[in-house]
Amino acid sequence: MTSSGCEAMFGQREDASATATRPGADRARTSAEDDAREVAAHVNFMNVLDSTDAQAWQTIFEHTHELYQQDATPERRLRLAIVLSRADRMSAGERITTDRLGEARDMLAETLADPAPIPPLVRKFARLQLSELETRLALYEEMRSLRAQLAKAHQENQSAQRDRSEVEARMRRIDAALTEANAKLEAVMDIERNITSPGKETFP
């Protein structure tokens, strides 16, 4: 995908002042319509990202990141955050995925905190995306915690099985030792019985 192709496919309004100025209600209506179109463009962009494979996603990410580095406007920051927010749709490892989702969350927070004016509808969209990202990150963290607990339980179970095997082996050794000791005791008692059994009486 060429740079010009990406710009044509994923281009967005980056300068709200380009909208022609109209008085009164016409101007307000036009501004609201422009905001709605911008949000619709973001939603469509997300749909495109969700339908791409890992290689296409990487191409889009590199292009969007390059544009942001050239001019870090709130609009381009939001667009890059959207790309990063779909990282878990790709086949990356969980650690990389959560790192990218964390970057997306931070960029959305920066966009909302930016002193530059953001259209109300776009701001609402960014807030919704931030909330959704925080929920997903919390779920990933819960999943990581559960996996750690499962691994610990498995390890403890293996350790318990080893301990049980050791105890059983020790019990067998003790049982064998008791059997041997009882056999020796029985032999000694037999000897004593033979010695003390009534025999022929003798006189001096």
Polymer length in residues for the chain: 204
Domain spans in the chain, listed from the N-terminal domain onward: 3-13+32-144
pLDDT digits (tens, 9 = 90+) for 116-165: 788 889 999 999 999 989 998 888 888 888 888 888 888 888 888 888 88
Rounded to two decimals, what is the model's pTM? 0.60
Share of the chain residues as helix, strand and coil, in percent rounded to the nearest 5: 80, 0, 20
Q: What are phi and psi of 90, to 5 degrees?
A: -90, 180
Per-residue pLDDT for 33 more than 60? yes
24: left (phi over 0), alpha (psi -120 to 50) or beta: left
Structure token pair of residue 38: 């911008």
**Integer Cα distance of 12 and 48 in angstroms:** 14
Q: Which distant-in-sequence residues (6+ apart) come within 8 Å of 45 by Cβ? A: 10, 12, 79, 82
